[in-house]
């Protein structure tokens, strides 16, 4: 049986709640809608850790944060960690990355035999949090309310520049693979930065929406918020600098516009597959690294296990994928075993996730749970999450426990952890957290890593810059038409479809 190609399209900071595919009445995502209409939509998919680099490292490795030290956005991703790209290479797949993956460290490939672009973010240790001074704001590189004040239209931004490069490179690679002589199946990851803040959009996407139609966040009693959300609000200056209703509406308008911009690139890549005759033999997977609170609970961005931060879209279509929706809980930890299943391989080690192929093939999935870990900024103790069935439990040593019935309370307003009717359930979850994680030991590892990386960054900054950032190769000596090539052969070779005459 011929193994399918795999096109993996990733957004950054896209919560499923803000797509028409998942029922939002305003946001327009026609291409994601079309993908879901001919494939499977997963309705309870989560990232393992709600921050860019940890979410990506755990997705690629199929391993939790504490297993690989993916503590935060400045944690090194060790070259010795097997990734889904390594596994696919072992099964004779071409592995190509276009766009963001937020690799930190000198290895900027991690199993991808080709990387078409540089990354948008740095690969060094500069963004290391400091739990020794957890109450101090990280000023130089961290989110604040400027992104709400600056939301609006622009002809271009560094993020638009980047995604235009990412999308073009991915499209060009799909065309190149259709006309070259390498007949291995491919795994192409196209990873975009939008709709990540800043919430600034090109006019054609901004004007796709009537400003008065932009819905506002649900109202909250800010005094009733959980301690971690209060810490987030302090860290991003939401409780000091603050924001106005006009700024909120502008920010959400820009976010919705950039969701549609990302969706347009998804559509362009699907069109290129169709034009090259590979749509029917390619599995397309669309997801995001994490979500964005976008003003709900008075919070912005990510960094919590609440729904708009930790849930992700996950839509799959292609050969063997039925038209369906899947309610069972799953996460990014399930993607590596899923891709190994597609490729017909075996994992090199036991993995906590499971293949989702049975779910999209119409078979029953007995598993309806996942777990998460968060060890970055806005906390000084590890945070853990268990989602099982309709219940979500969140634990942090320094905070009261949180327990929510997501089916009955999707906005997570009613913390059931202290409800006598849920006492037995909360106690069982607490015992499970104690059995699964040694929080104090993990905290010691996090702090030790932070201290080491702060020292290394000071040392690396004291001399000439030695960059780990990826430098894409461009073989201009063999591009287009050159004197050592036969022009009469170059033209027909690079034409698609081939001219039959």
Tokens found for residue 227: 């301690």
Q: How far, in Å, CA of 56 to CA of 111, rounded?
A: 14
Q: What is the DSSP letter of 498?
A: P
Distance CA 101, CA 54 (A): 10
Count of C-beta atoms within a 10 Å radius of residue 490: 15
- Strands 282-288 and 314-317 turn out to be antiparallel
Per DSSP, the three-state class of 248 is: helix
First to last CA, the chain: 33
Number of C-beta neighbours around residue 230 at 10 A: 18
| 318 alpha carbon, distance to own chain's centre | 21
**Which H or E run includes 286?**
strand 282-288
- 332 noted as active-site residue: no
Question: Three-state DSSP class for 70?
Answer: coil
Task: Give the Å distances, CA to CA, from 441 to 398, 444, 447.
Answer: 15, 5, 10
389 Cβ contact partners less than 8 Å away, ≥ 6 residues apart: 329, 368, 369
How many Å apart are CA 300 and CA 302, to the nearest integer? 6
Catalytic position from the list 102, 143, 253, 470: 102
Which of 17, 47, 48, 52 is catalytic? The answer is 52
Q: Is 457 a catalytic residue?
A: no
Inter-residue contact 129 to 377 (CB < 8 Å): yes
DSSP-assigned beta bridge partners for residue 374: 383
Distance separating alpha carbons of residues 12 and 80, to the nearest angstrom:
26
Cα–Cα distance, 365 to 355 (Å, whole number): 10
3-state secondary structure of 58: helix
> CA-CA distances (angstroms) from residue 166 to 6, 13, 56, 199?
17, 17, 17, 19
Q: Which residues are part of the catalytic machinery?
A: 52, 102
């Amino acid at each position: 049986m011929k193994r399918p190609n795999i096109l993996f399209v990733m957004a950054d900071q896209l919560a499923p709640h803000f797509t028409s595919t998942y029922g939002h009445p305003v946001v327009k995502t026609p291409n994601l809608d079309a993908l879901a209409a001919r494939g499977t939509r997963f309705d309870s998919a989560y990232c393992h850790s709600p921050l860019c680099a940890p979410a990506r490292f755990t997705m690629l490795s199929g391993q939790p944060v504490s297993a690989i030290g993916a503590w935060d956005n400045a944690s090194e991703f060790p070259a010795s960690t097997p990734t889904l790209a390594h596994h696919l290479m072992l099964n004779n797949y071409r592995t190509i990355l276009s766009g963001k993956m937020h690799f930190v460290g000198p290895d900027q490939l991690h199993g991808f035999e080709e990387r078409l672009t540089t990354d948008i973010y740095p690969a060094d240790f500069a963004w290391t949090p400091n739990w020794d001074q957890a109450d101090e704001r990280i000023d130089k590189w961290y989110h604040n309310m400027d992104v709400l004040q600056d939301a609006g239209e622009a002809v271009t931004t560094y993020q638009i520049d980047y995604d235009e490069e990412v999308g073009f490179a991915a499209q060009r690679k799909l065309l190149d693979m259709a006309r070259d002589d390498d007949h291995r199946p491919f795994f192409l990851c196209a990873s975009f930065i939008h709709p990540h803040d800043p919430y600034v959009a090109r006019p054609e996407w901004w004007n796709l929406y009537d400003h008065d139609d932009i819905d506002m966040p649900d109202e909250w009693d800010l005094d009733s918020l959980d301690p971690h959300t209060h810490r987030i609000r302090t860290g991003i200056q939401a409780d000091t600098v603050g924001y106005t209703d006009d700024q909120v509406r502008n920010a959400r308008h820009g976010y919705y516009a950039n969701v549609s911009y990302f969706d347009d690139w998804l559509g362009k890549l699907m069109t290129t597959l169709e034009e090259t005759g590979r749509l029917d033999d390619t599995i397309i997977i669309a997801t995001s690294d994490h979500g964005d609170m976008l003003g709900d609970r008075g919070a912005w961005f990510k960094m919590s296990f609440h729904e708009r931060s930790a849930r992700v879209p996950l839509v799959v279509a292609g050969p063997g994928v039925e038209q369906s929706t899947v309610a069972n809980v799953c996460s990014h930890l399930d993607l590596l075993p899923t891709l190994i299943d597609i490729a017909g391989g075996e994992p090199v080690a036991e993995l906590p996730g499971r293949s989702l192929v049975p779910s999209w093939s119409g078979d029953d999935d007995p598993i309806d749970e996942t777990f998460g870990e968060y060890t970055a900024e806005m906390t000084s103790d590890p945070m853990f999450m268990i989602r099982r069935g309709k219940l979500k439990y969140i634990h942090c040593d320094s905070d009261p426990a949180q327990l929510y019935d997501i089916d009955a309370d999707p906005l997570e307003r009613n913390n059931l952890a202290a409800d006598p009717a849920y006492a037995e359930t909360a106690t069982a979850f607490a015992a499970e957290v104690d059995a699964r994680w040694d929080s104090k030991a993990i905290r010691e590892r996090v702090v030790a890593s932070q201290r080491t990386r702060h020292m290394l960054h000071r040392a690396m900054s004291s001399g000439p810059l030695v960059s780990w950032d990826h430098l894409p190769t461009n073989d201009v000596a063999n591009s287009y038409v050159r004197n050592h090539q036969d022009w009469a052969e170059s033209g027909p070779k690079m034409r698609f479809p081939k001219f039959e005459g």
